[in-house]
């Protein structure tokens, strides 16, 4: 406080297109893949060959700590491929993930700036692509690319451990962290308003169990609508899923950390419910 004026310093995270969708949806599960190096030779300076794996962890931390709409349910080293949609859908199902996220680091090249205040100042690129696949359909639903440049303060012949604070507090490490935050905000903006799709994993005597729970925002008394999941093979031989609306609704009556139990409101229709059927949260609650 100075004189009669009070000054406040605040940090505000802005979600430009979220439209408060997270308030009426459960958190959606993400399976995060390792970011590969397009040109491994570019990692030779500093021997930062593990940067792809460590960047994945930085992105995971951003999503876990700041995202209002998503939850990382698993991390995998299995390469993602749009040409193997059936395998990707199985991978997503094994990890209770609605979406799969991966990417590639495309540029780690460095340039020497002889005109800087300090001689032989090294600036290094960091460019990365982001791919998001729908785990229910195997379709690629979002792609983007990012690029930044940061001061590389380490000696050319040094071996830099990208797991250490020394790397991440450096100007180059800070630029990568900013990029990971921007990536998380773009994911939030692009996908937060898509419906979360819990899945039936078991049904017995009118009681269904689903693969989302307390960490996703499920609460006792929530009302959900059932959709039958109907798969088919398209003309190119690619497995596709479609959702068929039903008149069945269910009510949450017991919530666990990562799962929940629901009672079927129309018991006479319970026999038609199968594992793999999907649910949507009723938005008028």
DSSP code string of 104-150: EEEE--EEEETTSSSTTEEEEEEEEEEEEEETTT--EEEEEEEEEEE
Residue 219 CA to residue 251 CA, distance in Å, equals 10
pLDDT of residue 117: 54
Lowest mean pLDDT among 11-15, 155-159, 173-177, 193-197: 11-15
pTM, 2 dp: 0.83
Q: Which two tokens stand for residue 246?
A: 């039903």
Residue 198 CA to residue 212 CA, distance in Å, equals 6
| DSSP type of residue 2 | B
Buried b (16+ CB within 10 A) or exposed e, 151-186: bbbbeeeeebebeeeebeebebbebbbebbeebbbb
pLDDT of residue 15: 46
Residue 191 scores a pLDDT above 80 = yes
From residue 117, alpha-carbon distances to 5, 93, 124 in Å are: 40, 54, 17
Q: Which two tokens stand for residue 161?
A: 């451990």
What tens digit of pLDDT does each residue of 234-284 get?
Answer: 676 666 667 888 999 999 999 999 999 999 999 999 999 999 999 999 765
Residue 80 CA to residue 51 CA, distance in Å, equals 18
Lowest mean pLDDT among 50-54, 84-88, 188-192: 84-88
Among 3.40.50.280, 3.20.20.10, 2.40.10.410, 1.10.760.10, name the CATH number for the domain at 200-281.
2.40.10.410
The strand order across the sheet containing 260-264 reads: 200-204, 207-210, 260-264, 239-255, 223-233, 278-281
Neighbours of 219 (CB within 10 A): 11
CATH 3.40.50.10610 fits 25-191, yes or no: yes
CB-count burial class (<10 Å; 0-12, 13-18, 19+) for 138? buried
Cβ 197 vs Cβ 209: under 8 Å: no
**What residue segments make up the domains of the chain, in order of their start?**
25-191, 200-281
| DSSP type of residue 233 | E
What tens digit of pLDDT does each residue of 128-140 get?
Answer: 999 999 998 888 9
What tens digit of pLDDT does each residue of 3-17 get?
Answer: 566 655 554 444 444
């Amino acid at each position: 406080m100075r004189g009669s004026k009070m000054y406040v310093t605040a940090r505000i995270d802005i979600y430009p297109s979220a439209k408060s969708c997270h308030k009426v949806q459960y958190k959606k599960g993400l399976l995060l893949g390792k970011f590969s190096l397009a040109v491994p030779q570019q990692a030779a300076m500093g021997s930062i060959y593990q940067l792809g794996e460590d960047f994945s962890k930085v992105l995971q931390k951003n999503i876990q700590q700041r995202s209002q709409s998503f939850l990382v349910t698993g991390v995998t080293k299995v390469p993602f491929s749009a040409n193997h949609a059936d395998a990707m859908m199985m991978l997503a199902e094994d990890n209770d993930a609605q979406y799969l996220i991966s990417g590639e680091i495309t540029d780690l090249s460095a340039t020497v700036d002889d005109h800087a205040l300090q001689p032989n100042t090294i600036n290094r690129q960091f460019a990365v692509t982001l791919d998001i696949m729908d785990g229910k359909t195997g379709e690629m639903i979002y792609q983007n690319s990012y690029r930044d440049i940061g001061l590389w303060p380490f000696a050319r012949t040094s071996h830099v451990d990208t797991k250490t604070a020394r790397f991440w507090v450096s100007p180059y490490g800070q630029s990568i962290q900013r990029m990971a935050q921007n990536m998380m905000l773009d994911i939030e903006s692009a996908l937060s308003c898509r419906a979360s799709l819990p899945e039936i994993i078991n049904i017995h005597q009118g009681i269904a169990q689903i693969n989302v729970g307390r960490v996703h925002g499920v609460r006792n008394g929530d009302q959900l609508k059932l959709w039958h999941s109907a798969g088919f093979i398209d003309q190119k031989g690619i497995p596709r899923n479609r959702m068929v609306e039903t008149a069945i609704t269910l009510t949450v009556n017991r919530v666990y950390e990562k799962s929940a139990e629901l009672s079927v409101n129309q018991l006479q229709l319970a026999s038609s419910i199968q594992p793999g059927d999907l649910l949507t949260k009723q938005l008028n609650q």
